[in-house]
Amino acid sequence: MSKPPDLLAKRLLEWYRTHRRDLPWRGETDPYRVWVSEIMLQQTRVEAVLPYYERFLARYPDVESLATASLEDVLATWAGLGYYRRARLMHRAARSVANMHDGRWPSRHDQLLALPGIGAYTAGAIASIAFDEPRAALDGNAHRVLARLADERRDIRRSAPRRALRRLGQQLIESTQAGERGDFTQALMELGATVCAPRAPKCLGCPWSSSCEGLAAGTAHALPVKGARRPLRTVEISLAIARRGDLMLVRKRSSEEPVMPGFWELPAVEGPPEGLAGLGPLCAASCEQAASFSHVITGTSYECRVYEASAEAGDPEGGYRWMSPDELGRVPLATISRKALRLRAKHGDLRLEDPLAVPP
């Protein structure tokens, strides 16, 4: 760094107080609410989180209400936000706080790290924002900003450069004054989200441009360096929409399933639509495609095709049942099925209620 850390921190905080976005969690110091926002924002765009944050807190305003809720209700409230393991771990963490800490959020850093789903970043964010502790919290945005600031050209997926960036972040936050640590954490993330963007960084508007070693070296646009990822695996999914009036045929995934256990979904198979015929209570599936979309998650691109289908008379078996749109809005519905229904409603004669809306 070409400038002392206290000067860099001061410049960043001045910039943040003028340019920060107006977001519902800004200025929040309740550790429960800080935790909810930080977990939701992991690997998820701010725009997608906004309606979920408000709705989640309206349903579960404190850790006790979340701890006493059923997991199915929590997953239904979370449905559509993705990365459902976050919701499961939040539910476990809330119960840990209720049972082991008498419903009071622990303030010690080691106690935060001991809660399910809380790693170094989230613990640092809660400690600094809720408790004003000088603890570095480095998300993807912060890693990018600091890699450019320090002209760190090593692969940041490796432990040595990540430790170097953490030391830099810690040095910066320790140079702030009491009462500023939460703002500093949010300012660093805000800078990465709005100015020091992954592509085409807006260096002219950056409070650190005169001290940025990556900018001076002409390498900022290429940083941070990340090792090559494995290519996406492609999986073809065929889904069936079978209806009886306003009711739709769905099934509940087993609690033993490795992916999205306990979620409800449309009848579906990997591969072409011919595999749908005879699946559960289905007796036929049209090969005429009603909708299609891609869904990318965790290294896999799911190429989804949606078909109309018919079902046998009588009550379905094998975990299947008929549900109304209102019922579907109250249970955890798998994201792929949710997207399929939303697209079919948009382009066909299917009627759905608002609870089935998902981010595009």
Q: Smallest Cα–Cα separation from 43: which of 94, 82, 88?
A: 82
190 is catalytic: no
Q: Are 215 and 209 in contact (CB under 8 A)?
A: yes
Paired strand residues for 268: 239
Q: What's the CA gap between 148 and 222, in Å, rounded?
A: 9
Helix 181-194 and helix 120-131, axial crossing angle in degrees, nearest 10: 120
Helices then strands, counting H and E runs in the chain, come out as 14, 7
Q: What's the CA gap between 330 and 79, in Å, rounded?
A: 10
Q: Choosing from 28, 38, 54, 308, which is the catalytic residue?
A: 38
Residue 47: how many CB atoms within 10 A of its CB? 8
Strands (E), the chain: 233-244, 247-252, 264-265, 268-270, 282-297, 300-311, 320-323
| Token pair belonging to 7 | 């000067």
Sign (positive/negative) of CA torsion 182, 67, 355, 309? positive
Catalytic residue annotation: 38
